[in-house]
Amino acid sequence: MSETKQYESFSEFYPFYLAEHSNLTCRRLHFVGSTLVLALLVYIVTSASWGMILLLPVVGYGFAWVGHFFFEKNKPATFTYPWYSFMGDWVMYKDIITGKIRF
């Protein structure tokens, strides 16, 4: 049985998250997926197309998982740390926009 590291806080987890996203193409795919999620969310709300809400995880995680499986060649952190990973996606998105992380 393999041991999974238990993180005490998101700030402790985030360096691990970034290490799992060291490939530039993987980060770019995450950024594209997150941007499309935001655009789709705006569309859903403004058009009241509530059934399309089911597409949000498909769009967001679809791009991210392609990045992990084909470019980063690792298992997405979502499978082990779902909430911290979700938070990491958006913090990394903000860090890319603000220039803190290379894009």
| Per-residue pLDDT tens digits for 10-63 | 999 999 999 999 999 999 999 999 999 999 999 999 999 999 999 999 999 999
**Domain assignment of residue 65, yes or no:** yes
| Per-residue pLDDT tens digits for 22-36 | 999 999 999 999 999
**98 C-beta neighbours (distance < 10 Å), count:** 8
Number of compact structural domains in the chain: 1
**Domain assignment of residue 6, yes or no:** no
**Domain assignment of residue 80, yes or no:** yes
2 pLDDT more than 60: no
Does residue 10 sit in helix, strand or coil? Answer: helix
Global pTM?
Answer: 0.89
Q: Residue 57: name the closest of 77, 27, 73, 33 by CA.
A: 33
**Domain assignment of residue 51, yes or no:** yes
Q: Residue 26: name the closest of 65, 67, 62 by CA.
A: 67
| Per-residue pLDDT tens digits for 64-103 | 999 999 999 999 989 999 999 999 999 999 999 999 998 8
Contact of 74 with 66, CB cutoff 8 Å? no
**Domain assignment of residue 15, yes or no:** no
**Domain assignment of residue 88, yes or no:** yes
Q: How many residues are recorded in the chain?
A: 103
Contact of 7 with 16, CB cutoff 8 Å? yes
**Domain assignment of residue 45, yes or no:** yes
**Domain enclosing residue 65, as ranges:** 24-97
